[in-house]
Amino acid sequence: MKHLISISDLDRDGIEEILDLADRLKSERYKGMVSEYLKNKSLAMIFELPSTRTRVSFEVAMSDMGGHALYLGWKDLQLGRGEPIKDTARVLSRYVHAVMIRARNHRTIEEFAEYSTIPVINGLSNLEHPCQILADLMTIREYKGTLSKIKLAWVGDGNNVCNSLILASSILGIKMVYSTPPGYEPDTNIVEKAKSLGGDITYIREPEEAVNEADVIYTDVWTSMGQEEEREKRLKVFSEYQVNMRLLEGANEDVIVLHCLPAHRGEEITDEVIESSNSVIYDQSENRLHAQKAILLKLIGEVE
């Protein structure tokens, strides 16, 4: 793997290697072990959109492993005054060892990678969120002991997180059902690609039907970053797609609930579900840190 721009930059073995490494790094952190796996390595983090988890987990991941991370807000860079992406990519390639970018348009990250001589990591785009999905898979494996024979139900917007989950499910053989309002389905090209990979991916319009026998229910905000002007319309369109206790009753008794956060309680998910014993949302959030470390080591580390 040269870059991590789409989760499909990884095959099954690549994903499993990252998850195994993330598990190991998690246990090393719990034991208080200190590493210098990324000593003298620097990561530039470019954010065109806000972030709590991605920013902090990448920064702590670098410092935990003896490296250094630089937070670069889009508007504080010359990028914000129109410097071309290709020049920024070429210049940063001379200073740091990897770049993580959160961008409005997926194309921005692809273009950056075309001119970069160092690894580029997608820290979320309108199309995908691969780093999130690695933490999600790690969490599912922790709770279910396996990634095979899992049924995952996505309820809500067919957004960036949903797109990456569809690809990952196809790569790993997870049975995935997505339930979205008509017109808010995941990206067509992604669904086609997933099917060409042999994925067991099904659209079911009714959330109640979609969660039947689900081991995992996953939801995310109805209005993603950059879609704020559609918020009022989306609140109406998505009203039947809330993850609440009544919906959970139709799933397996030991169903786990995932949400990448930030959440809007009372919209896509209720406070009761977030606080319930089915919710593993904060473990999922924590796992961003361990997964981030594994991604960085695979791209710029030398750990065995």
| Catalytic-residue membership of 20 | no
Give the C-alpha separation, 285 to 24, whole Å: 17
Q: For residue 105, what are the contacts with CB-CB under 8 A and spacing of at least 6? A: 125, 126
| 3-class SS shares of the chain: helix, strand, coil, % to 5 | 45, 15, 40
Q: For residue 155, what are the contacts with CB-CB under 8 A and spacing of at least 6? A: 179, 207, 210, 211, 217, 218, 219, 241, 243, 247, 268
* Closest residue to ligand NVA in the complex (CB): 224
- Tell me how far apart the terminal alpha carbons of the chain are, to the nearest angstrom: 16
Q: Is the Cβ of residue 54 or residue 93 nearer to ligand NVA in the bound state?
A: 54
Chosen from ligand CP, ligand NVA, none, partner binding at 220 (C-beta under 5 to 8 Å by type): ligand NVA
Q: Is the Cβ of residue 93 or residue 287 nearer to ligand CP in the bound state?
A: 287
3-state secondary structure (DSSP) of residue 65: coil
Give the C-alpha separation, 227 to 158, whole Å: 13
Q: How far is the CB of 260 from ligand CP (least distance, A)?
A: 4
CA 210 to chain centre: 22
3-state secondary structure (DSSP) of residue 50: coil
Which residue is catalytic, options 215, 220, 242, 259?
220
Q: Which residues bind ligand CP (CB under 6 A)?
A: 51-54, 124, 132, 260-261
- For residue 161 the two structure tokens come to 């997180």
Chosen from ligand CP, ligand NVA, none, partner binding at 276 (C-beta under 5 to 8 Å by type): none
Which residue matches tokens 């065995």?
304
Site string (254-273) toward ligand NVA, x via CB under 6 A: ------x-------------
Chosen from ligand CP, ligand NVA, none, partner binding at 52 (C-beta under 5 to 8 Å by type): ligand CP
- Site for ligand NVA contains 220 (CB under 6 A): yes
* Closest residue to ligand CP in the complex (CB): 54
- Site for ligand NVA contains 224 (CB under 6 A): yes
Which residue is catalytic, options 102, 141, 234, 259?
102
Restricting to residues 43-102, name those near ligand NVA by CB under 6 A. none
- The residues that touch ligand NVA, with contacts defined as CB under 6 A, are 124, 159-161, 220-221, 224-225, 260
Active site (catalytic) residues: 102, 129, 132, 220, 260, 288
